[in-house]
Structure 1
Amino acid sequence: MREPKLREIDDRAFLRRLHPILQVYAAAMRPPPDQLPGRHTIMARHAAYPRFRALVAERARSLPGLGGTVRGFAYGFHGERGQWWHDVVFQALVATGGAEHAAHWLADPFEVAELHVHPEEQGRGLGRGLLTALCEGRTERTVVLSTLDLDPGSPARRLYRSVGMVDLLTGFDFPGGGPPYAVMGGTLPLAPYRSPSSSP
């Protein structure tokens, strides 16, 4: 059985695939079902953000027992003031490290909004491939993202550290409730990949 292939898609193709993309998100994150319509709205809005870039990991066709053709996805965009995540994190970084610290990370960032791999495909390097391809060739100075902070040794956290990303905030509660997050950042281009014991 062939591995899913990575493919860069534009904003229109991203919107056309939003339903299967959300299915991967739901399988990976297991959010309450009533949160999915709101997540759909947020992702659709992100597709209009500046310098939006998206990748999917797709199979040529759906296979019995493996669900749809989209098996993983990642997307991001140029972060700037006026974007909700950017403004919330900027204020938190100012509070913890000062304005210069916040500007170092968020003056010219590529913000990875989502990166998820279907649980049936995890542990094969697909998350690493998505992250590497997504960040390749970006001209921003830094890359930043947030990830669940339930387990500091999770495969996702290990993956991000393996390409040079560091914790900027931990145990961070975004407005509106939900679990604690870690905000991580690195410089671009990403550091050469150091293979951990496993990756998402």
Structure 2
Amino acid sequence: MRDPKLREIDERAFLRRLGPMLEVYAATMAPPAEQLPGRHTIMERHAAYPGFRAFVAERRGPLPGLAGPVQGFAYGFHGSRGQWWHDIVHQALAAREGPEHADAWMDDPFEVAELHVHPAAQGKGLGRGLLTALCEGRPERTVVLSTLDLRSATPAQRLYRSVGMVDLLTGFEFPGGGPLYAVMGGTLPLAPYPSASSSP
């Protein structure tokens, strides 16, 4: 079986792969089926955000130039005021730690919107590869993201901590309900792993 290959894709290629990427998202997050059309719309909108960047992990296709199944994907963009996630997190950080703390993390962030690896392809370093490639060379000062906050540290949380990211918010519920999240942040460039804690 051919190993997956990381590939950077532009906005058009990202939009063409939305179906397969949503299949990976559904396999990893197990959302209610009725939420997937809304997620599709959100990802379409994100592709037009400033500083958008995306990578996929795909198995090599049967012929040169033909991509195989998507095994994982990650994308992000420059965060700024007026974006839903950015504004919610900035407000929560300001309420808990003060406006200066919120500004330190959220004034110039690269926001990792999604990073998922299909369960069948996990444990092979694809998540680390996607995160490293996505953040490499970014001009922003910080990187921020949200990930499920379970009772014990998830593989995703261990990955993010290994490159210097720290918890900014824990047990956080976004408006509209749903599971609890940890909001994590680190400085760019990412720290070599393993890493001690970082601060902005």
TM class, shorter-chain normalised? over 0.9
Inter-partner Cα distance in structure 2 for 1:107 and 1:132: 22
Identity of aligned residues (%): 79
The answer to whether 1:158 aligns with 2:158 is yes
The offset of 1:154, in angstroms, is 0.9
Inter-partner Cα distance in structure 1 for 2:27 and 2:194: 27
Match of residue 123 from structure 1: 123
The offset of 1:193, in angstroms, is 1.8
Inter-partner Cα distance in structure 1 for 2:121 and 2:153: 19
Inter-partner Cα distance in structure 2 for 1:163 and 1:7: 21
TM-score w.r.t. structure 2 length?
Answer: 0.93
1:124-163 Cα distance to aligned partner (Å, 9 max, x none): 1100000000000001000000000014411000000000
Inter-partner Cα distance in structure 2 for 1:152 and 1:172: 15
Letter in 2 for 1:45: R
Secondary structure, counterpart of 2:139 in structure 1 = coil
- TM-align CA RMSD: 1.2
The answer to whether 1:82 aligns with 2:76 is no
1:64-93 Cα distance to aligned partner (Å, 9 max, x none): xxxx61000000000000000000000000
The offset of 1:3, in angstroms, is 1.4
Letter in 1 for 2:188: L
1:71-119 Cα distance to aligned partner (Å, 9 max, x none): 0000000000000000000000000110100000000000000000000
Long gaps (5+) in structure 2? 63-67, 196-200
Inter-partner Cα distance in structure 1 for 2:143 and 2:76: 10
Aligned counterparts, 1:1-200, within 5 A: 1-61=1-61, 69-194=69-194
Long gaps (5+) in structure 1? 63-67, 196-200
Secondary structure, counterpart of 1:120 in structure 2 = helix
Inter-partner Cα distance in structure 1 for 2:7 and 2:141: 24
Question: What is the count of residue pairs matched by the alignment?
Answer: 190
TM-score w.r.t. structure 1 length?
Answer: 0.93
Letter in 2 for 1:7: R
Secondary structure, counterpart of 1:143 in structure 2 = strand
